[in-house]
Amino acid sequence: MMECLRRCQCRSPLTARAGRADLSETLVVGTMMAAAIAAYAWLIEALSG
């Protein structure tokens, strides 16, 4: 039981770091997707007008 507790305590900073990396990656991907959608909408509007 103590071994599992120690393992979990050692692993928690690593999982916290991985969680932060996932969040920043998600933000970057989301921003890029939003920019691509905005550019696509602008292109459609420019071509149709």
pLDDT in tens, 30-49: 999 999 999 999 999 999 97
pTM of the model: 0.53
The percent of the chain in helix, strand and coil, each rounded to the nearest 5, is 95, 0, 5
Q: What is the mean pLDDT of the chain?
A: 81
pLDDT at residue 17 in the model: 63
pLDDT band at 22 (very low <50, low <70, confident <90, very high): confident
Longest CA pairwise span in the chain (Å): 69
